[in-house]
Every structure is written in structure tokens, then in C-alpha cells.
């Protein structure tokens, strides 16, 4: 089936640094999502993005988070500055249109030291 790619698969950084997580969504998809999963807990919605804009964000999407997709390239999640509680696996998802399913990437495991 359609594949969503995420780069890198793992990232280790020091608290306070900036990190950018990259997502390469399916080529003809229009809606993009980030989800966060802390070890042992369920996956939780962070934000969704359509037509260059954030449509909805959860309370987990702190002021230090931002998303963008410049010129149809990677869909990115930037955290600046990072905090210890940002350690988690971040999953990107995309969907073609409103009536279609979301496809998930394999996740980026972020460890903040």
C-alpha cells in the first residue's frame, strides 16, 4: 500500500536543543497529521495540517512545536526548545482526501537527554 516515510528513525538530543522531524507523505495526499506516543501509552493526536495551515491542534501541541510543509516538500515537526517530556515516538500520517483513510509512517523515536 501507500508508504509514508519518516526521517530520521531515531534522534537523540540534549534538552534545550532544537529538533526537526521529517515526514515524506504519500505523493497525492492533501491532509497531514502528527501523533505522539509515549512508551507504554496510547498514540495521541498532536496536530493536523491542510492547505498550508494548521486545522486543529491538541493540548499536547505546545507553543514550542511548529509544523510546516514548504513547497510540497517534507512535512516537518519542529520542537524548539526541547524538553525531557518530549521524549516519545512521533508518527506522521497522511490521507488523500476527507473520505479516505490515514496512512502512517514508521515513526521517529526522539530521546531528549
Partner 1 sequence: GDQVEQSPSALSLHEGTGSALRCNFTTTMRAVQWFRKNSRGSLINLFYLASGTKENGRLKSAFDSKERYSTLHIRDAQLEDSGTYFCAAEAGNTGKLIFGLGTTLQVQP
- Interacting residue ranges for partner 1, rule: CB under 8 A: 1, 31, 33, 35, 42-45, 48, 55-56, 58, 89, 91, 93, 95, 98-107
Measured in degrees and rounded to the nearest 5, phi and psi for residue 43 equal -70, 135
- Given the complex with partner 1, which of 16 and 106 has the nearer CB atom? 106
C-alpha pair distances (Å), 22 with each of 10, 12, 107: 11, 15, 10
- Given the complex with partner 1, which of 22 and 81 has the nearer CB atom? 22
Minimum distance between the CB of residue 45 and partner 1, rounded to whole angstroms?
Answer: 4
Minimum distance between the CB of residue 42 and partner 1, rounded to whole angstroms?
Answer: 5
- Given the complex with partner 1, which of 48 and 82 has the nearer CB atom? 48
- Given the complex with partner 1, which of 75 and 91 has the nearer CB atom? 91
How many CB atoms sit inside 10 A of residue 12's CB?
Answer: 12
CA dist., res. 13 & res. 87, Å (int): 10
Amino acid at each position: 500500500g501507500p508508504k509514508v516515510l519518516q526521517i530520521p528513525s531515531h534522534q537523540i538530543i540534549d534538552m534545550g536543543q532544537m529538533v526537526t522531524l521529517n515526514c515524506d507523505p504519500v505523493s497525492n495526499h492533501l491532509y497531514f497529521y502528527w501523533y505522539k506516543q509515549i512508551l507504554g501509552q496510547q498514540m495521541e493526536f498532536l496536530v493536523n495540517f491542510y492547505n498550508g495551515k494548521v486545522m486543529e491542534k491538541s493540548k499536547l501541541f505546545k507553543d514550542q512545536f511548529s509544523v510546516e510543509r514548504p513547497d510540497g516538500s517534507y512535512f516537518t515537526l519542529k520542537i524548539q526548545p526541547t524538553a525531557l517530556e518530549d521524549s516519545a515516538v512521533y508518527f506522521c500520517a497522511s490521507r488523500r482526501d476527507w473520505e479516505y483513510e490515514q496512512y502512517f509512517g514508521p515513526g521517529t523515536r526522539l530521546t531528549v537527554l
